[in-house]
Amino acid sequence: MPELPEVETVVRDLKKRVVGRRILDVWTDWPNYFLDPKSRIRGIQGKKKLFLDFKKNITGRKIVNVERRGKNILIHLSGSYLILIHLKMTGHPLLGCWRLEGGGWKSIQNSKEMQDSKNAFIRLIFFLDGKKVESMLALSDMRRFAKVLCGPKDEILNLKELKGLGPEALEVSLGDFKKIFETKKGAVKSVLMDQSFVVGIGNIYSDEILYLAGIHPLSRVEKIKGQKIKILLDLIKKVLRRGIKLRGTSSDDFRDTFGKKGGYGKVILVYQRHGLKCEKGHKIERTKVGGRSAHFCPECQELIK
């Protein structure tokens, strides 16, 4: 699932390339995207109506800003409307131009990036005014797990999936981080990925952060004290900022809005490197923490319990 660096990369791209442009139309072949978590609508006709309502709400509106909250993309529209997009497992927005061919959308661009098979699962398209070569904002999403909601700004911002989020990992102060940290219990990797703790960290970057901090992923968070908490926060910010600088990680499906892979995969230290050696020559291992894989070096990372 895209984490903070991947979503931030997308948001920064969109901010430069779509703000000020108007949405002329929208297309989808997957109306399930628009199901509100509170909705009781069932059946294809009900889901089609949700899409038609979505289309009616956004057509003709201008994009006035794009920002990120946690792993959510927030597209602000004229008239105080807001689109929320959560990319889930395989979703990633692309800017370009496609034509309908043989029942599917084919990129008219000849770049090798847009010919990448990961960019071929076009499920949703916003048609934009302005730049012809980038006349469409598309969502490629192989597994169709993404979520797309739209409504008045206040209504969207009050959804529980936004209201329940913790502070931003890149913005939280040491004092606030310590206060929240000291209320938590359990394995430190699970806590780092808890979006009510701090937002934006997932499986990839939690492994990297804990390796650099020298803390085993199964360490009990309530036993981590003093200077180690400061070191952990410093490394959270350092790793996430480096992830943004390198435009995210493409260990699987993620691509940026140009259809390109992120560069963080080239500098990964432990994530998905089990069986290989760490920087100090020790064998990297893998275990399960809260049902998720954790990659670590048992020699370099202390188990605090």
Q: Is 2 one of the annotated active-site residues of the chain? A: yes
291: left (phi over 0), alpha (psi -120 to 50) or beta: left
The dihedral through the CA atoms of 123, 128, 133, 137 has a sign that is negative
Residue among 2, 5, 31, 93 flagged as catalytic: 2
- Judge contact between 23 and 60, C-beta under 8 A: yes
Instruction: Tell me the two tokens of residue 25.
Output: 């139309």
Q: Is 292 one of the annotated active-site residues of the chain? A: yes
Instruction: Tell me the two tokens of residue 77.
Output: 């529209």
Provide Rg for the chain, Cα atoms.
20
Residue among 17, 68, 71, 147 flagged as catalytic: 71
Residue among 69, 106, 292, 302 flagged as catalytic: 292
d(CA 205, CA 273): 13
Residue among 3, 8, 134, 208 flagged as catalytic: 3
- Which segments of 132-284 does DSSP mark as H helices, in order? 153-157, 160-163, 174-181, 188-192, 203-213, 227-245
SS3 243: helix
| Residue 142, Cβ density class (10 Å: 0-12 exposed, 13-18 middle, ≥19 buried) | middle
Q: Is 56 one of the annotated active-site residues of the chain? A: no
Q: Is 5 one of the annotated active-site residues of the chain? A: no
Active site residues: 2-3, 71, 292
